[in-house]
Amino acid sequence: MSTCIWHNRYEEDWMRAFPLGNGRVGAMVYGGPSKEIIEINEESLWSGKQHKEVFHSTPEGLAEIRRLLFEQRFGEAFNICNETFLASPPSVRFFESFGELTVDFADKSEYTDYRKELELSEAIVRVSYKKSGDWYRSETFVSEKYDVLVHRMVTEGKPFSCSINMQRSQDAYTAALNDDTLVMNGCLVFKEGKMYGEGVEGMQFGSRVHVVTDGKLSSDKTTIYIENATQFTVYGAYATNYNVNKFDNDETINYRKKLIADIDAVKDVDYDALKKEHIADHKKWYDTFELTLDAPSYDDIPTDERVNRVSKEDVEDTDLYVLYFNFGRYLLIESSGKRATLPANLQGIWCNGFTPPWGSDYHTNINMQMNYWPAESTNMSDTFKPFTHFVKMISKFGVDTAKDLFFGEGWVINHTTDVFGRTGIHDLVGCGFFPMAGAWLCLNLWEHYEYTNDSKYLEEIYPVLKGCCDFVKSYLIESPEGYLVTSPSNSPENAFYYTNKNGERRTSGLTYAATMDCQIIYALFTRMLAACEMFDDKSYAKGLEDVLAKLPPMRVSERYGTICEWIEDYEEMDPGHRHISHLFGLFPGDQINERNPEIYQAAKNTIARRIAHGGGATGWSRAWIINFYARLKDGENARFHLHKLMKLSTAENLFDMHPPFQIDGNFGATSGITEMLLQSHLGRPGERVVELLPALPEDWKCGSVKGIKARGNFAFDITWKDNKVTKVTITSACDNTLRLKLNDVCGQVSAEKVYALEDSVLTMEFAEGETAELLFLS
């Protein structure tokens, strides 16, 4: 059971550094033997500030676009969108690196016996090596309790000398306050630019670094020097003046106060006690789940070599999937659990430099939603907190956008946002237009409710869901076929071929009623109906039912046997496109399932066609495919694409590669593995049916999983042998009825607790906190 990522070779490369975090402060530890570099991030350090977006659309323009789309005059419709839809300023700003903490050693001589490891179950990076016969060992972690980074170096050999610095190459200055303390203070200045609008003197931020050592301390203007030491400990505190409840920089926040208080609280704590507490705190998050696959362990091979064995020699390393899975859970805990107040962005909280890919922002046409796919099923529900807050905030900012951009009700957001509440159409109309993003975000909220069964939470998010449904209802119009449709509409970020009125072959991304829109609306409205029932909101339910009755049905392509991606059976411009949006209903939705065999088969054909044309080329797309195959109960293909993900889209520190690094693939694949082991999407909310090992690959003969969650707040421990379930222990966190489908991995069932069996579905009543055991005989 792999829980340790390790290297025995050092290279000064951010993509080989190991990530740490406490949800708020992130760190990438390079592990350099002559110069240690720890790149720091703080979740809220974004350039820019809150900005009221300006829109240029008009009700007449929107009506004209819609008319043109119904007449298949896509080019003309697009031109109006292109001229009027883009927000001013057009782009959101960036998440940025906080700076680098460095320890520069005087001794630059050769080193041997190098080892750098990240122990996932402890959230500690350890580095060790020998120089001139002496061992040097460091440990680094980010404490949840004290909210600081801790880095300690010890040698049992000859004393050493080094210098310590905390720096950022722009917008900040560092000064030694005295011989043991550095302060860094800054203000993010963002220059005026065509895409970003006026220049901004933005967020204030700073750091306080404190050093404790048995050596001699001295300092000059910017640097602390340590001489003749056998050990030192560095404490780093980091903060900004961002206010997550305002979604803006806040001049009234004195971040320096926090830095001083944080260092004061930690600096005299005994190191071993501090570490012990850190590990115990981490285990509360991490130890809620355990996956074991009975496969050869290659823990003695460095992780980078294991990745390379898969990519270059095509080795099947099953145990590496377990490590990757554990890493996925770890990454969500470190970027969105513990002290996090903002959700995991495109890179979690780990970003190198000042202009990261896609600004390391929040993309809401799949990426942000995908980040949270494993949050509930892998039993770390509390990592979802920052997401809930974020969507609540967005729902406030999105009200003006719904009104001023689309002349609609409720709230809306499109395909990207930042931490300042941007909800308009950004970058380019072609990809930036996606008014169903909010509905998709709401479905994540719903999943949190279904997995926790927490009706207070549902009450809390009900207005947000309602506001989203209000927008969708106001956005729908009647099509010539008599359906209620979204218009304009697109299928992120694909386009299709059509023939225009002059008989010319053209492409368009815009149409009305793209399949994904209909699937998202179906998912949201059917769930909302369940919520209305709970709150006895009959008149609202009626409105939703009326819409559901008039949504266009899914269509099977006559040419390809696939699910049509758009309202018409168009040919895709890119048949291998990374977005497989029209399978939203298969995963994360539940509309496409085995109860409708024709559509289920069409979904299989849809993936096959995408893959035949080079689909799954980005890490996140491949991760999505794993979830699809799991839902199709196809364990072999799920495993095959997991293998491809390791082979083609995984870096030497196990970060997912779009490429470049993008964390959604890590999270998506973690969810995919979970879906292979347990599913609970069939049936109505509140009456879901659980299925065990629905997509177990032949190769994963024996194993066990502990703590895997099903909707309804059931936790399962499952043991299997020779591809058959042998024992299951179920704990219910609330009074509830379990419905368990006995599929072909389940033999003859027996239990001490009373159960009923009908049509291969076992039902069992649970009281809050009750545990029951099922045994299976083959």
* Residues found near Ca ion in the complex (CB under 5 A): 43, 340, 342
- DSSP-assigned states of every residue in 31-82: --SSEEEEEEEETT-BSS-----B----HHHHHHHHHHHHTT-HHHHHHHHH
Q: How far is the CB of 721 from Ca ion (least distance, A)?
A: 40
Specify the residue, 242 or 358, whose C-beta has the smaller distance to ligand FUC.
Answer: 358
Q: Are 302 and 5 in contact (CB under 8 A)?
A: no
Which range in 24-32, 86-94, 359-367, 532-540 contacts ligand FUC by CB under 6 A?
A: 359-367
Specify the residue, 174 or 336, whose C-beta has the smaller distance to Ca ion.
Answer: 336
Gap between the Cα atoms of 335 and 348, Å rounded: 5
Answer with the entry of ligand FUC, Ca ion, none that 340 interacts with (C-beta below 5 to 8 A by kind).
Answer: Ca ion
Answer with the entry of ligand FUC, Ca ion, none that 643 interacts with (C-beta below 5 to 8 A by kind).
Answer: none
Specify the residue, 164 or 583, whose C-beta has the smaller distance to ligand FUC.
Answer: 583
Answer with the entry of Ca ion, ligand FUC, none that 378 interacts with (C-beta below 5 to 8 A by kind).
Answer: none
Beta bridge partners of 153: 138, 232
Residue 434 as a binder of ligand FUC (CB under 6 A): the answer is no
CB atoms within 10 A of CB 533: 13
Strands 25-29 and 35-42: antiparallel
User: Terminus-to-terminus CA distance in the chain, angstroms?
Assistant: 27
Specify the residue, 159 or 575, whose C-beta has the smaller distance to ligand FUC.
Answer: 575
Answer with the entry of Ca ion, ligand FUC, none that 618 interacts with (C-beta below 5 to 8 A by kind).
Answer: ligand FUC
Which listed residue (49, 210, 631, 658) binds ligand FUC by CB under 6 A? Answer: 658
Which range in 360-368, 432-440, 452-460, 540-548 contacts ligand FUC by CB under 6 A?
A: 360-368
Residue 662 as a binder of ligand FUC (CB under 6 A): the answer is yes
Residue 656 as a binder of ligand FUC (CB under 6 A): the answer is no
Q: With left for phi above 0 and alpha for psi between -120 and 50, is residue 390 left, alpha or beta? A: alpha
Q: If you count them, how many residues does the chain have?
A: 778
Gap between the Cα atoms of 467 and 409, Å rounded: 8
Residue 240 as a binder of ligand FUC (CB under 6 A): the answer is no
Residue appearing with tokens 């996140």: 620
Q: How far is the CB of 497 from ligand FUC (least distance, A)?
A: 20
Residue 493 as a binder of ligand FUC (CB under 6 A): the answer is yes
Strands 748-751 and 771-777: antiparallel
Which range in 20-28, 59-67, 323-331, 363-371 contacts ligand FUC by CB under 6 A?
A: 363-371
Specify the residue, 233 or 345, whose C-beta has the smaller distance to ligand FUC.
Answer: 345
Gap between the Cα atoms of 430 and 666, Å rounded: 27
Residue 426 as a binder of ligand FUC (CB under 6 A): the answer is no
Closest to 125 (Cα-Cα) out of 112, 114, 138: 138
Q: Are 713 and 452 in contact (CB under 8 A)?
A: yes
Q: How far is the CB of 581 from ligand FUC (least distance, A)?
A: 10
| Contacts by residues 475-483 (CB-CB < 8 Å, ≥ 24 positions apart) | 475/406, 475/408, 475/412, 475/435, 476/521, 476/547, 477/66, 478/550, 479/70, 479/512, 479/513, 479/552, 479/567, 480/70, 481/552, 482/550, 483/513, 483/550, 483/551, 483/552
Q: How far is the CB of 553 from ligand FUC (least distance, A)?
A: 27
User: In this structure, what token pair is assigned to residue 387?
Assistant: 């997401």
Answer with the entry of Ca ion, ligand FUC, none that 43 interacts with (C-beta below 5 to 8 A by kind).
Answer: Ca ion
Answer with the entry of ligand FUC, Ca ion, none that 367 interacts with (C-beta below 5 to 8 A by kind).
Answer: ligand FUC
Q: How far is the CB of 377 from Ca ion (least distance, A)?
A: 20
Residue 371 as a binder of ligand FUC (CB under 6 A): the answer is no
Q: How far is the CB of 349 from Ca ion (least distance, A)?
A: 5
Which listed residue (232, 255, 330, 358) binds ligand FUC by CB under 6 A? Answer: 358
Specify the residue, 146 or 390, whose C-beta has the smaller distance to Ca ion.
Answer: 390
Answer with the entry of ligand FUC, Ca ion, none that 303 interacts with (C-beta below 5 to 8 A by kind).
Answer: none
Specify the residue, 427 or 634, whose C-beta has the smaller distance to ligand FUC.
Answer: 427
Which listed residue (44, 241, 557, 618) binds ligand FUC by CB under 6 A? Answer: 618
CB atoms within 10 A of CB 126: 20
Residue 414 as a binder of ligand FUC (CB under 6 A): the answer is no
Gap between the Cα atoms of 577 and 628, Å rounded: 15
Residue 485 as a binder of ligand FUC (CB under 6 A): the answer is no
- Which residues between 571 and 600 bind ligand FUC (CB under 6 A)? 578-579
Specify the residue, 180 or 361, whose C-beta has the smaller distance to ligand FUC.
Answer: 361
Which range in 18-26, 202-210, 362-370, 526-534 contacts ligand FUC by CB under 6 A?
A: 362-370
Answer with the entry of ligand FUC, Ca ion, none that 565 interacts with (C-beta below 5 to 8 A by kind).
Answer: none
Specify the residue, 375 or 431, whose C-beta has the smaller distance to ligand FUC.
Answer: 431
Answer with the entry of ligand FUC, Ca ion, none that 662 interacts with (C-beta below 5 to 8 A by kind).
Answer: ligand FUC
Which listed residue (131, 208, 309, 363) binds ligand FUC by CB under 6 A? Answer: 363
CA dihedral 672, 675, 677, 680 (to 10 degrees): 170
In 688-760, at which residue ranges do the beta strands (DSSP E only) sit? 689-692, 703-710, 714-721, 724-732, 736-741, 748-751, 756-758
Interface with ligand FUC (CB under 6 A), residue total 13
Q: Are 665 and 619 in contact (CB under 8 A)?
A: yes
Answer with the entry of ligand FUC, Ca ion, none that 342 interacts with (C-beta below 5 to 8 A by kind).
Answer: Ca ion
CB atoms within 10 A of CB 748: 9
Q: Residue 595 burial (CB < 10 Å; 0-12/13-18/19+)? A: exposed
Gap between the Cα atoms of 49 and 69, Å rounded: 37
Specify the residue, 322 or 344, whose C-beta has the smaller distance to Ca ion.
Answer: 344
Residue 726, φ and ψ in degrees, nearest 5: -110, -40
Which spans of this chain sit near ligand FUC (rule: CB under 6 A)?
Answer: 346, 358, 363, 365, 367, 431, 493, 578-579, 618, 620, 658, 662
